[in-house]
């Protein structure tokens, strides 16, 4: 199988995100960690496979059944032939998994330490920022993580993020302390961390719950203690957390403290699962039941919840159909009551960040050439309507030794309750690669308050990239978000606003020797703004990063 998919395309495929601009730092950090320490598909148990979120429940069941009946998987071409996978999914998984048998010496410790620093000059003022991470692991038994960063304008380093994890010898039970994520069902009752907003691709219609997992990110998470384990086909997980504790430890003395809790029980079988969840914060809980049933190309999932505090309901259901390779369709229906206020909720949504006061439905069709989706929602309290339509077209061709990847995307969106006119976002990309060389071109234009546009050209070689961009965006409602290449473990999607140009250079290099891996990162950028009503100031920034890993 010749790879036609890049690392970022693999992340987008497995998360269901429409583009890089929909992602956030914590999800990219998690995928990059799997790049450094791949998941072993031929030896990992069910619990490890499920909590990775790289595979669906049905894919895990098929994989385990194949391992039991036929032995180890010898190639990703063979993996692609298994029901529920396919060629593109197998291609994407190559970045984050391995088919090698895992051989870990007893007592072997693996770990990584990272240090970064940066300087930014703007309006004659120079500011500094930095960060550090340390992660140590006794494979399949225990792990500890600590990370902290100093942002521009901060007066001191914060205690940062920290977590500890311990697993029983059979791998079916684990204890967590510190920062962790709890992700149950479809997220109506409890879902912390990354959550997509919108339904631009068929992959966004259903999500893979992971239970409770340790956080290895700078980003915010629940802070407390949690545990999970399996009793036959039943998986149990739950935890307690202190809301506001992270803010207090970061020096925000006014943060309100509250005691939160969450619990989940799931009964699994080959064709799906049924689960119960509860979550609350300083008061009455929200309770929910969720399900997933499917196989052989058809999957039905959903969740229904009741909030005892708000005395209101929420419900979400989706259907995903894959009649054959390269063709899939999806639809969903959802209703989040105005008074539904589960504090730990993070369900799929379109109208805003809170999972309440929204009713709607979406449909999508995906092919190997692109996708089309449409979402219609309303706010029951006001009767306003929201529309969003997305059309994408993309493909990859091999022209001798050169790979060509043109792509088009059109997004039309309007929400009557925010007072912003219909927004039309049109984007065209073309990429070309030859061995380690790559060239990418983009033109993005938006019609909303006015017409805005952004164009860039970038070239790269073996982990190093040079990009030049021009932009003209005179109204904040017309802003354009653009993913920027950054240091490993960092993720940047700035909003471009104003008139000007930018130049950036980034490079991430790896040196391996024995059990040690050294990683070096550099990024330098300059954004120049012409005088305009936006009132933006030119910015010069430089970043350096070094990490060392031993395995």
* Cα distances (Å, whole numbers) of residue 85 to 66, 71, 312, 388, 453: 13, 18, 39, 29, 38
Summarize pLDDT for 192-224 with one digit per residue, the tens: 888 777 899 998 998 888 899 999 888 888 999
Q: Please report the pLDDT score of residue 317 as a whole number.
A: 96
The DSSP output letter for 422 is P
Q: Please report the pLDDT score of residue 283 as a whole number.
A: 83
Q: Please report the pLDDT score of residue 157 as a whole number.
A: 74
Percent of the chain's residues with pLDDT above 90: 56
- Max CA distance (Å), the chain: 68
Percent of the chain's residues with pLDDT above 70: 97
Summarize pLDDT for 281-290 with one digit per residue, the tens: 988 899 999 9
Q: Please, which pLDDT band fits residue 107 given cuts at 50, 70 and 90? A: low
Q: 35: closest CA among 62, 6, 72?
A: 6
Q: Please report the pLDDT score of residue 237 as a whole number.
A: 95
CA pair distance 34, 496, nearest whole angstrom: 31
CA pair distance 373, 377, nearest whole angstrom: 13
CA pair distance 146, 291, nearest whole angstrom: 35
Predicted confidence (pLDDT) at residue 241 exceeds the cutoff of 90: yes
Q: Please report the pLDDT score of residue 103 as a whole number.
A: 55
Q: Please report the pLDDT score of residue 314 as a whole number.
A: 94
Crossing angle for the helix pair 7-15 and 25-36, nearest 10 degrees? 120
∠ Cα 455 11 41 (to 5°): 160
Q: In this structure, what token pair is assigned to residue 260?
A: 């939160």
- Name the strand (E) or helix (H) holding 321: strand 312-324
Q: Are strands 97-98 and 39-40 parallel, antiparallel or unpaired?
A: parallel
Predicted confidence (pLDDT) at residue 415 exceeds the cutoff of 80: yes
Q: Which residues contact 475 (CB under 8 A, 6 or more apart)?
A: 448, 449, 450, 452
Question: 331: which strand partners?
Answer: 319, 363
Q: Please report the pLDDT score of residue 391 as a whole number.
A: 97
Domain ranges of the chain: 1-102
Q: What residue spans of 446-492 are helical by DSSP H?
A: none
Q: Please report the pLDDT score of residue 2 as a whole number.
A: 45
pTM of the model: 0.90
Q: Please report the pLDDT score of residue 351 as a whole number.
A: 62
Dihedral sign for Cα atoms in the order 319, 323, 324, 327: negative
Q: Please, which pLDDT band fits residue 47 given cuts at 50, 70 and 90? A: confident
Q: Check residues 454 and 61 and name the one with the higher pLDDT.
A: 454
Predicted confidence (pLDDT) at residue 397 exceeds the cutoff of 60: yes
Q: What is the mean pLDDT of residues 469-477?
A: 96
Q: Please report the pLDDT score of residue 490 as a whole number.
A: 85
Q: Please report the pLDDT score of residue 33 as a whole number.
A: 86
CA pair distance 321, 36, nearest whole angstrom: 33
- Name the strand (E) or helix (H) holding 14: helix 7-15
Q: Please, which pLDDT band fits residue 305 given cuts at 50, 70 and 90? A: very high
Q: Which residues contact 334 (CB under 8 A, 6 or more apart)?
A: 315, 316, 317, 347, 348, 349, 358, 359, 360, 361, 377
Predicted confidence (pLDDT) at residue 362 exceeds the cutoff of 50: yes
Judged by average pLDDT, the poorest of 43-47, 348-352, 364-368, 466-470 is 348-352
Q: What is the mean pLDDT of residues 301-317?
A: 94
* Cα distances (Å, whole numbers) of residue 375 to 350, 361, 440: 8, 6, 30
Summarize pLDDT for 423-462 with one digit per residue, the tens: 999 999 999 999 899 999 999 999 999 999 999 999 999 9
Backbone angles phi, psi at 83, to 5 degrees: -60, 130
């Amino acid at each position: 199988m010749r790879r036609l998919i890049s690392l970022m395309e693999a992340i987008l495929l497995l998360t269901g995100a429409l583009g890089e601009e929909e992602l956030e730092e914590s999800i990219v950090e998690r995928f990059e960690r799997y790049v450094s320490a791949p998941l072993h598909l031929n030896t990992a148990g069910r619990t490890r496979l499920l909590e990775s979120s790289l595979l669906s429940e049905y894919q895990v069941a098929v994989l385990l059944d194949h391992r039991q009946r036929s032995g180890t998987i010898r190639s990703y071409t063979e993996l692609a032939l298994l029901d529920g996978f396919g060629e593109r999914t197998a291609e994407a998984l190559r970045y984050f998994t391995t088919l090698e048998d895992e051989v870990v010496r007893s007592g072997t410790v693996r770990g990584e330490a990272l240090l970064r620093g940066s300087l930014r000059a703007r309006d004659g003022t120079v500011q500094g920022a930095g960060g550090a991470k340390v992660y140590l692991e006794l494979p399949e038994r225990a792990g500890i993580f600590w990370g902290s960063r100093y942002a521009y304008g901060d007066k001191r380093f914060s205690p940062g993020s920290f977590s500890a994890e311990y697993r029983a010898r059979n791998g079916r039970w684990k204890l967590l302390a510190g920062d962790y994520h709890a992700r149950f069902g479809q997220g109506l009752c409890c879902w912390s961390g990354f959550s997509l907003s919108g339904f631009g691709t068929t992959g966004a219609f259903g999500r893979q719950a992971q239970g409770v997992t340790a956080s290895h990110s700078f980003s915010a998470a629940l802070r407390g203690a949690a545990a999970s384990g399996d009793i036959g086909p039943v998986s149990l997980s739950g935890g307690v957390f202190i809301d506001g504790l992270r803010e207090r430890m970061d020096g925000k003395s006014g943060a309100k403290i509250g005691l939160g809790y969450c619990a989940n029980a799931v009964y699994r079988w080959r064709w799906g699962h049924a689960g119960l969840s509860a979550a609350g914060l300083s008061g009455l809980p929200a309770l929910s039941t969720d399900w997933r049933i499917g196989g052989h190309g058809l999957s039905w999932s959903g969740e229904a919840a009741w909030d005892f505090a708000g005395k209101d309901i929420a419900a979400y259901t989706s259907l995903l159909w894959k009649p054959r390779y390269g063709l899939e369709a999806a639809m969903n229906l959802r209703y989040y009551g105005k008074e539904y206020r589960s504090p730990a909720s993070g369900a799929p949504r379109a109208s805003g960040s809170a999972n309440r006061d929204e009713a709607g439905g979406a449909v999508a069709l995906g092919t190997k050439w692109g996708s089309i989706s449409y979402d219609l929602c309303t706010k029951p309290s006001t009767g306003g309507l929201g529309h969003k339509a997305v059309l994408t077209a993309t493909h990859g061709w091999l022209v001798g030794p050169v790979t060509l990847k043109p792509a088009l995307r059109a997004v039309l969106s309007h929400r009557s309750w925010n007072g912003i006119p219909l927004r039309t976002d049109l984007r065209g990309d073309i990429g070309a690669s030859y061995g380690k060389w790559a060239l990418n071109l983009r033109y993005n234009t938006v019609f909303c308050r006015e017409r805005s546009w952004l164009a860039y050209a970038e070239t790269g070689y073996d982990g190093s990239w040079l990009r030049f961009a021009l932009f003209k965006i005179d109204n904040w409602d017309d802003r354009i978000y653009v993913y920027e290449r950054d240091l490993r473990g960092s993720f940047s999607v700035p909003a471009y606003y104003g008139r000007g140009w930018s130049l950036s250079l980034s490079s991430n290099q790896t040196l391996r020797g024995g059990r040690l891996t050294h990683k070096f990162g550099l990024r330098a950028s300059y954004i120049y703004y012409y005088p305009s009503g936006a009132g933006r100031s030119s910015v010069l920034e430089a970043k350096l990063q070094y990490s060392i890993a031993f395995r």
